[in-house]
A and B are shown apart, each in its own frame.
Chain A
Amino acid sequence: MRIPGLGILKGMRQTGRNFWAPKVTRQYPEERPQMPDRWRGRLDLIYDPFGEHKCEVCFQCAQVCPVEAIDMSGFDSQGNRIRYGLPEIYEERKDPNAYRRAGLPAEPMRNVARWDEAIDTAWLGGVIDGFGARPEALIGIFSAVQERYGYLPERALRLISDTMVIHWAQVFGAAGLGGFRLLPTEGHLVTVCRCAACRFAGGDALLSALSDELGIAPGETSNDGAWSLETSDEVAAGAIAPAIRIDTMIYGPLTAVQARHLVAERRKSAAAPARARTASRPS
């Protein structure tokens, strides 16, 4: 036999007791929750076994984000500063404060892409027309532009994007492929492949040998501006690993001694005309 009201009183006793009990709510801004060590709830880039970021700054995530929430910048495999986001933020990104906030050295990097590049728009339009303004022709157009200017000026990429109605990020992403340069160089460029295959085949030794030979570290340019040393993820397929590229020529497979010899030969032939800027060969 149940006494009516007893169950209600039992519940009221519970709530009444809890009225005085210590509270369990976290007072958020003052009281921060202790996140577990394995907490995955924050965005973080992951590293490959070689200790480098796995993010290749390909912007694919930013492209597919439906609400355009991703706004990112970084350095591609050649050390160029590249970015994706609203155009009005680009300028802000060059601001020293923005660098500081991003944890980068406060002075702007030497290889920030330039906006004031003069581009022969009529010529570029002709090239695009010649290729038929199809997305798959991008590579051909890029190579034409690079042949003329020695690198891919940002203005030219913009123009290609606008003319061909291809998303800017796609143009930029395609330009990140091996073989294209996004900033002008003054002298010869030696690119050492850093793909997994080349590394296993002794790419690291190759790099240190070349660095020793040229007297510069990867990513630097020699004092006279004639030689630059860079690394890239994709100089060639693994079949000729380890490979290097001198300007547009690919060599491989090489041993460290061979590579050193090759570069030394080239340096001796000397006084090679700087190929950037001045080249104005018709396409």
Chain B
Amino acid sequence: MTSELRIPDPLELEAAEEGRLRAVAGLPPLKRGGGEYAGFESVGLPDRPPQTEREREVYTLDEGEMLVNMGPQHPSTHGVMRLVIKVRGEVVIDIDPVLGYLHRGIEKLCENATYTTVMTYVDPMDYLSAMHNEHAPAIAFEKLFGIKAPPRAEYIRALVVELNRVFSHGLMMGFLALDMGGLTPILYSFINRDDVVDMLSAISGQRMLFNFFRVGGVNFDTNDEFMSRLGTWRAGVLKTIEMSERILTDNEIFRGRTVGMGVLSGAQAIALGVTGPSLRASGVPFDVRKAHPYSIYPELEFDVITQAGGDVYSRYLQRVAELKQSIHLIDQIVDKMPHGPVQAQVPGIIRPRPGRAYAAVESPRGLYSVYAISDGGPNPYRFRMRDPSFVSLQALPKLMPGRLIADTMAVMASFDPVMGGVDK
């Protein structure tokens, strides 16, 4: 399950190298330790005392170090996030992600919404996988209500969810390249994404925030428009993906920047709560679709793909492989799709019995779960969402010390965080 990998501390290596170079150049070694607390003015904030040990550690600067604010407005922070980066020259010493710039209090909103309207609030969470965001609450609420969606609804759910995964992983390829300065793959990815969202809008009526899932089924059945678009897309999708692949996968510059970069061992990934493709790229075969099957996944044939490397390149390969796997899953789902209703009989007054339900789905970024508590009222008493990119961000401070500023962006993009989900 986990491979214990002893990774030399890059900072130690870097310090040793720097010490050697300074000795060669006849310079005195840099003083280490005993730095001074720099305070928040150095990142342009009103000064205040540090609140925690960790905060003091980040804001304490040794000789030759400085703090750089990356964000909240920065070309490549995938939304609005601020990374406080402590650098020595170009070498990253420490990173402190500062979140909350996109915090909308969706959990609180959902606790004041009725069970049916919760679906509209969870959409803008992780806006690149809105279908997955709706899937988990739908399952959780169905548990609370004690109803089951009809089989055709489950198949349609799996279909749209896999379609969503395809474009999300495709975009990750593009964003990873864009964060490394490659301009073109992102536009090729958007060709694919545009086809998929057009298709999803043919079935759900919206392009981005679908509001498609219902408690006990889905909003609409498939129609001819959707199926014909699906057929056209299926015929050309692999070609579109290959365009980005040809530019990136074998490219020496791309490989040079990603192979061996940001290596996350399996044990480390588990401890940090990293899930999804990033975890599987570290060699841990954990996929909620297999580990704790939901919807119709037990009926589909697929294997859990893993990579051995755990580096940025493995995470990239993992996404590409899963993307292709999702396309095969879509083929299977379309083949097996039964006929029947798409919405179960739901009681007129939507008030579940008091109880608790937990439901997890495999979103493109990992384990997305919902914990809902009902008190018998018309709205959830507590509605908790666990977003995978929120948890994955913790890996960044662990991976970056000793690397360069340029790699921060590549490593971050390899976890594919979406700030809408991180900040809820």
**Which residues of A approach B to under 8 Å, CB–CB?**
2, 4-8, 10-11, 13-15, 18, 24, 35-41
Is B243 a contact partner of A8 (Cβ separation < 8 A)? Answer: no
3 A-B pairs with the lowest CB-CB distances in the bound complex, closest first: A7-B250, A40-B205, A36-B202
- Whether a CB of chain A sits under 8 angstroms from the CB of B30 is no
Is A6 a contact partner of B250 (Cβ separation < 8 A)? Answer: yes
Rounded to whole Å, the gap between the CB of A12 and the closest CB of chain B is 9
Is B248 a contact partner of A38 (Cβ separation < 8 A)? Answer: no
Chain A residues, Cβ within 8 Å of B201? 35-36, 38-39, 41
Per-position binary interface string of chain B over residues 234-249, scored 1 when its CB falls under 8 Å from any chain A CB and 0 otherwise: 0000000001001111
Rounded to whole Å, the gap between the CB of B278 and the closest CB of chain A is 24
Chain B residues, Cβ within 8 Å of A39? 201, 205
- Beyond A36-B201, A41-B207, 16 extra complex contacts between A and B, CB < 8 Å: A2-B250, A7-B255, A8-B252, A11-B246, A11-B247, A11-B250, A14-B246, A14-B247, A36-B202, A36-B226, A38-B201, A38-B205, A38-B223, A39-B201, A40-B206, A41-B201
- Whether a CB of chain A sits under 8 angstroms from the CB of B391 is no
Is B247 a contact partner of A37 (Cβ separation < 8 A)? Answer: no
The distance in angstroms between the C-alpha atoms of A8 and B249, with both chains bound, is 10
Is B252 a contact partner of A15 (Cβ separation < 8 A)? Answer: no
- Whether a CB of chain A sits under 8 angstroms from the CB of B51 is no
Per-position binary interface string of chain B over residues 39-77, scored 1 when its CB falls under 8 Å from any chain A CB and 0 otherwise: 000000000000000000000000000000000000000
The distance in angstroms between the C-alpha atoms of A37 and B225, with both chains bound, is 8
Is A15 a contact partner of B223 (Cβ separation < 8 A)? Answer: no
Within 8 A of A (CB), among B244-302: 246-255
Contacts A36-B202, A38-B204, A40-B206 hold; do A18 and B220 have CB atoms under 8 A apart? Answer: no
Rounded to whole Å, the gap between the CB of A19 and the closest CB of chain B is 11
Chain A residue at minimal CB-CB distance from B244: A14
Interface residues of B, dominant DSSP: helix
Query: Could you say which of B191, B203, B206, B246 contacts A41, with CB atoms under 8 Å apart?
Result: B206
- Whether a CB of chain A sits under 8 angstroms from the CB of B198 is yes
Within 8 A of A (CB), among B316-372: none
Chain B residues, Cβ within 8 Å of A8? 251-253
Rounded to whole Å, the gap between the CB of A61 and the closest CB of chain B is 15
How many residue pairs link A and B with beta carbons under 8 A? The number is 56
Is A18 a contact partner of B243 (Cβ separation < 8 A)? Answer: yes
Query: Could you say which of A10, A14, A36 contacts B205, with CB atoms under 8 Å apart?
Result: A36
Is A7 a contact partner of B252 (Cβ separation < 8 A)? Answer: yes
- Whether a CB of chain A sits under 8 angstroms from the CB of B117 is no
- Whether a CB of chain A sits under 8 angstroms from the CB of B3 is no
Chain B residue at minimal CB-CB distance from A38: B205
The distance in angstroms between the C-alpha atoms of A40 and B211, with both chains bound, is 11
Within 8 A of A (CB), among B181-235: 184, 191, 198, 201-207, 220, 223, 225-226
Chain B residue at minimal CB-CB distance from A4: B252
Chain A residues, Cβ within 8 Å of B184? 15
Rounded to whole Å, the gap between the CB of A26 and the closest CB of chain B is 9
Query: Could you say which of A13, A14, A24, A40 contacts B191, with CB atoms under 8 Å apart?
Result: A24
Chain A residues, Cβ within 8 Å of B246? 10-11, 13-14
Chain A residues, Cβ within 8 Å of B202? 36-38
The distance in angstroms between the C-alpha atoms of A41 and B205, with both chains bound, is 7
- Please name 13 pairs of A and B residues whose Cβ atoms are closer than 8 Å in the assembled complex, sorted by A: A2-B250, A2-B252, A7-B255, A11-B250, A14-B247, A24-B191, A36-B202, A36-B226, A37-B202, A38-B201, A38-B202, A38-B223, A41-B206
Chain B residues, Cβ within 8 Å of A18? 243
Is B247 a contact partner of A38 (Cβ separation < 8 A)? Answer: no
Is A36 a contact partner of B198 (Cβ separation < 8 A)? Answer: yes
Query: Could you say which of A5, A24, A35, A36 contacts B252, with CB atoms under 8 Å apart?
Result: A5
Chain B residues, Cβ within 8 Å of A2? 250, 252
Chain A residues, Cβ within 8 Å of B206? 40-41
Chain A residue at minimal CB-CB distance from B247: A11
